[in-house]
Amino acid sequence: MSQVCPHAYDWDPRDEQTLQDQIAAYDTMRKQCPVAHSEYLHWSVFRHAEAVRILNDHETFSSQVSSHVSVPNGMDPPEHTSFRQLIEPYFGPEAMADFKPACEAIAQNLVGNLGLGPIDIMAQVAHPYALEVQCAFMGWPTTLHQPLRNWIRKNHEATLSKDRAAISRVAQEFDGYMLTLINERRRAGAQAPDDTTTRLTHEQVNGRPLSDPELISILRNWTVGELSTIAASVGILAHYLAARPALQDQLRAKPELLPPAIDEILRIHAPLIANRRIATRPVALGGRHLEAGDRISILWASANRDETVFGDPDEFHPDRDSSLNLLYGAGIHVCPGAPLARMELKLIMESLLACTQRFELASGQVPVRARYPGSGYTSLILQVF
């Protein structure tokens, strides 16, 4: 395959071999066809340089990829700027300090109840942790846990199938949950709980209250990002450390090394596969010609492993230049929830390391890899000592 990939479709992201090991498949594409065309993902960008170029040029590569409201992910300036200013304080230092004790308690309770022997880290820690932390942060009742678990599964299946009717049904179901929570707080008035969801219902942007679609979009974006990527991250981190007992011991002895180690492990194996953009005008990108309206997928899981930036992508260097790591994106759309995600991952890994002497991959148990649009693992059996 040539560097310019002249074929109508250069690859199939849903090919069974690709889905069995997405990271390896993207490594191959990055070297052979760094900007590739497919029916499923349209134009896919595999290299770091093109990814950064897109992230820093919202005028050419717009985030307005959908006709549905998406706050602030699917917005460009100046609209994006106003909503971003509204959202950022929810993840500021004071908010994180206030939420840390609740987050820490959830982590310690989950890990403390594991016991010894084989465990499925995804079912027993990763997914429950992401769900419980999200509900606690938003102020949602425990009765929402199971409906949200079911919704995550249905959302994943609908996204993978690209069945528009199924995607619409799943979206409407989530919107119904969120609208119920919003209206409950409105009816409660001054008696509404002082939580994140209540505070959002009182927010204004450009001098007006947030509309219901805007509120629901914020809650959806935060929830989907939290439940899927945090769970995937916990599994990826646990798998990486399970195979490296010396690194486990080092991090147990010096937990202050966890933050850069976590970011580096998640650079090596991304918890989020891709994000979308749309070209606003004809543009050359990585030797390919794109027209206005062409859709683009930024493959984080490839760009963060680019050999021209990171050398051997599998080498663990937690002291490398953190500005190169696209784990939380870059530019004006860098993830506003990064402080919360980093705190959550640090606390759960601290608990896992503190409550165990060691953990390793269970003998005879093959980890089950997640398939696009997911990343990480759907099942990961560890032996805990």
Interval 332-350: pLDDT, tens: 999 999 999 999 999 999 9
% of residues, the chain, pLDDT over 70? 98
The residue-averaged pLDDT of 296-321 equals 98
Tokens 């399970």 sit on residue: 242
Quick check: 228 and 127 in contact, CB under 8 A?
Answer: no
pLDDT classification of 6: cutoffs 50, 70, 90: low
Tokens 């503190």 sit on residue: 354
The residue-averaged pLDDT of 267-276 equals 97
d(CA 271, CA 351): 20
Please give the model's pTM, rounded to 2 decimal places.
0.94
Query: What's the confidence (pLDDT) of residue 158?
Result: 84
DSSP code string of 318-337:
TTS-GGG--TT--GGGS-TT
Q: In the chain, what are the domains? A: 16-384 (1.10.630.10)
Kindly report the number of other CB atoms within 10 A of residue 24's CB atom. 11
Query: What's the confidence (pLDDT) of residue 1?
Result: 34
Query: What's the confidence (pLDDT) of residue 5?
Result: 63
The residue-averaged pLDDT of 112-134 equals 94
Report the mean per-residue pLDDT for the chain: 94
Is 208 strand, coil or helix?
Answer: strand
Residues in the chain: 385
Quick check: 239 and 361 in contact, CB under 8 A?
Answer: yes
Quick check: 104 and 347 in contact, CB under 8 A?
Answer: yes
Query: What's the confidence (pLDDT) of residue 4?
Result: 55
Query: What's the confidence (pLDDT) of residue 164?
Result: 84
The CA angle 148-149-153, to the nearest 5 degrees, is: 110
Report pLDDT digits (tens) over 11-66.
Answer: 999 999 999 999 999 999 999 999 999 999 999 999 999 999 999 999 999 999 99
The residue-averaged pLDDT of 249-270 equals 97
Look at strands 42-45 and 295-299 and give their pairing: parallel
Helices and strands of the chain, counted as H and E runs? 17, 14
State how far the alpha carbon of 277 is from the alpha carbons of 34, 42, 105, 220, 373, in Å. 17, 11, 38, 19, 16
68: phi then psi, degrees, rounded to nearest 5: -85, 150
Q: Given a cut of 90, is residue 159 above it in pLDDT?
A: no
Amino acid at 57: D
Q: Is 319 exposed, middle or buried (0-12, 13-18, 19+ CB in 10 A)?
A: exposed
Q: Given a cut of 90, is residue 120 above it in pLDDT?
A: yes
State how far the alpha carbon of 30 is from the alpha carbons of 46, 298, 329, 350, in Å. 5, 12, 19, 34
Buried b (16+ CB within 10 A) or exposed e, 236-255: bbbbbbbeeeebbeebbeee
Q: Given a cut of 80, is residue 160 above it in pLDDT?
A: no
Kindly report the number of other CB atoms within 10 A of residue 86's CB atom. 19
d(CA 352, CA 144): 26
d(CA 118, CA 379): 12
Quick check: 286 and 275 in contact, CB under 8 A?
Answer: no
C-alpha 79: how far from its chain's center?
A: 23
Helix axes 145-161, 127-138, angle to 10 degrees: 110
Q: Given a cut of 60, is residue 3 above it in pLDDT?
A: no
Report pLDDT digits (tens) over 189-227.
Answer: 999 999 999 999 999 999 999 999 999 999 999 988 788
Q: Given a cut of 60, is residue 128 above it in pLDDT?
A: yes
C-alpha 66: how far from its chain's center?
A: 19
